[in-house]
Structure 1
Amino acid sequence: MPVAAACPLSLTASHRRLLKKLAYGHKTPHQARVRAHVVLHAARGHSNARIARETGLYVDPARTWRGRFAEAGMPGLADRRRPGRPPSFTALQVAQVEALAWQLPAETGTPLSCRSCPELAREAAERGIATFVSASTVRRWPAQDVLKPWQHRSWIFLTDPGFRAKAECVLDLYVRTFDGVALGVDEYVLSADEKTSIQARCRCHPTLPPGRARAIG
């Protein structure tokens, strides 16, 4: 089976200077250093097999980085964006489960002092919030939040029956979606909110530092 010819490269003076800086710089990340060496060897007319031997790579990665530089120049040596696995739950579903976790069980007629994660997952399925959600997922959602309302005594729970419809539009915008369509790269969401009751007052007592599972006091 014939082997495709290696892609020829020619470097400008600025490209060569930048590639040498990456290839021999002491603070250059390893991946960037190896890719720079691949391009420098390719510019000397070396074959992909020889480049692989010189850099310790396999032939396929050497061919890949050679081709990406020929196609896109220096930006071609950067990692391409990986979309990753699409989320299994919407932002609205996460907010509904978290709101359920922050409610007292007595408010919903549940004879418990507090809910466990398996009980929350089961109740979320019973309420139709999600077809199925695991207890480990329910445990992870509140732990990842920056704001932890259950650590604040002054937290007010929302009881508005139209909360779902009002929150859905806002939560969709947080994940850059509007009316079920993803926003484009040239579309932006701007949010403005006034800060009420913020006054420059001295505290009567020193602020207590935050601790494990304890907010600033």
Structure 2
Amino acid sequence: MPVPRARQITLSAAERRRLKQLAYSHTAPYQQVIRVRIVLDAAHGYSNAKISRRRKVTVDTVRLWRGRFAGEGMKGLADRPRSGRPPKFTPVQIAEIKALACQLPAETGVPLSRWSCPDLAAETVARGIAPAISASTVRRILATDAIKPWQYQSWIFIRDPDFAAKAGRVLNLYARIWDGAALDDDEYVISADEKTSIQARCRCHPTLPPGKSRMMRVNHDYKRGGALAYLAAYDVHRAHVMGRCSPKTGIVPFTELVDQVMTAEPYASAKRVFWIVDNGSSHRGKAAADRLATRYPNAVMVHTPVHGSWINQIEIFFSIVQRKVVSPNDFTSLDQVEDRLIAFERRYNETARPFRWKFTPADLEDLLARIERHEQKEFDSQQHDHCEQQPDVLDVAA
């Protein structure tokens, strides 16, 4: 019986260049590198036996990849599609596992607040959905639909009936508009609030700086050194912060912050200064607005809606303070906390630029419209469920 001749390999300049790049690649899969080197050796005229000795593979392996390249080119060096291991769980079982993950554990009689993959695996076996299943398999099943029951996100209803009007006033002030007219150059917008309960935690062992292959180390044990409040006013368009520290919050500390701002230029001689505040007890309601207007006739207090503090830009600055100044908390005394806050305030004002506020009145309208559609959908669903639960009048009469 005649021995089959080895397939002849002839490479173009482009193919040779591509194959050489793969042959000496440090990132390509090792199997692909071996296949490419077999093809290059074959193009040099080496026999299958010699290539087998050079690449330390069997002659059958050389014959396989040499023949595939001769017949299909570069595509022939890829693996053929494989059926893989047969599925261990049926589509019905997978659907039941996903349905279980989409239920609150308490509603199923399980005393948990949320599911974890080990809990779901144990519950799957307990319910007889599958005789056995691992937590990693449950995680892979849920990953196909991006279901993560161990995560949660909080939300809150809009309870303020004048939410749209109040939020619209604030957003218009950010765009330098009040009552439909543009603000003058001598009119300013201030965003103010308090950051409460900033503690002085003196660590029992000093914090160690980062080093080679080592992150900063903060001792877990600490002694409490008290707490203070940081009151700040942020000029929205000038990106300038004015703040002070106080042992506690209240009307008097907030009034001191107002005095600090309104007695300084350019606010003392300004035509109008708009103060955007939330509904905290220090500046809540019409009484606070009247108190401010009586003390400074050129000051106008503008309240955010209830549960609408997220549209107050001072909260962005407070988040910066939390990340860059307060955390990790390691202060020997409240005086050190105050000095650090005031020093950071000066440092921030040297390079600060206005926040790129992107939430516009048009975005507010879209948000409220989506909420309205969602509430209507929920209402229709409840009405439908209620009608299904009511007995048919004709059936009762019969």
- Give TM-score scaled by structure 2 length: 0.33
| Alignment-mate amino acid for residue 48 of structure 1 | N
Q: Which stretch has the larger CA shift, 13-22 or 113-122?
A: 113-122
Query: Are 2:19 and 2:40, in contact at CA under 8 Å, matched by a contact in 1?
Result: yes
Q: 1:113 maps to what in 2?
A: 111
Q: 1:53 maps to what in 2?
A: 53
Q: Distance in 2 between matches of 1:74 and 1:21?
A: 13
- 1:140 to 2:134 alignment: no
Closer/same/farther in 2, CA of residues 206 and 96 from structure 1, 3 Å limit:
farther
Query: After superposition, what is the alpha-carbon deviation per residue over 1:74-111, rounded to whole angstroms, capped at 9, x for unaligned?
Result: 11112233332243335553242233245456645x5x
Q: Distance in 2 between matches of 1:84 and 1:105?
A: 35
Q: Distance in 2 between matches of 1:93 and 1:154?
A: 31
Larger Rg: 2
Q: 1:42 maps to what in 2?
A: 42
Q: Which stretch has the larger CA shift, 59-68 or 142-151?
A: 142-151
Q: Distance in 1 between matches of 2:38 and 2:19?
A: 10
Closer/same/farther in 2, CA of residues 93 and 6 from structure 1, 3 Å limit:
same
| Alignment-mate amino acid for residue 126 of structure 2 | R
Q: 1:73 maps to what in 2?
A: 73
Query: Are 1:8 and 1:42, in contact at CA under 8 Å, matched by a contact in 2?
Result: yes
Q: 3-state DSSP class of the match of 1:73?
A: helix
Q: 1:4 maps to what in 2?
A: 4
Q: Distance in 2 between matches of 1:134 and 1:31?
A: 35
- Give TM-score scaled by structure 1 length: 0.55
| Alignment-mate amino acid for residue 48 of structure 2 | N
Identity, % of aligned pairs?
Answer: 44
Query: Are 1:6 and 1:48, in contact at CA under 8 Å, matched by a contact in 2?
Result: yes
Query: Are 1:38 and 1:55, in contact at CA under 8 Å, matched by a contact in 2?
Result: yes
Corresponding pairs, count: 156
Unaligned runs of 5+ residues in structure 1 are 156-199, 210-217
Closer/same/farther in 2, CA of residues 149 and 21 from structure 1, 3 Å limit:
closer
Q: 2:383 maps to what in 1?
A: none
- What is the Cα-based RMSD across aligned positions, in Å? 3.7
Unaligned runs of 5+ residues in structure 2 are 156-309, 324-398
Q: Distance in 1 between matches of 2:99 and 2:81?
A: 33
Report 1:124-203 matches (<5 A). 125=128, 130=129, 132-136=130-134, 140-142=137-139, 145=143, 146-152=146-152, 201=311
Q: 1:21 maps to what in 2?
A: 21
Q: 3-state DSSP class of the match of 2:134?
A: helix
Query: Are 1:104 and 1:113, in contact at CA under 8 Å, matched by a contact in 2?
Result: no
Query: After superposition, what is the alpha-carbon deviation per residue over 1:85-140, rounded to whole angstroms, capped at 9, x for unaligned?
Result: 243335553242233245456645x5x525954443231x3xxxx5x341426x63
Closer/same/farther in 2, CA of residues 153 and 95 from structure 1, 3 Å limit:
farther
Higher strand share: 2
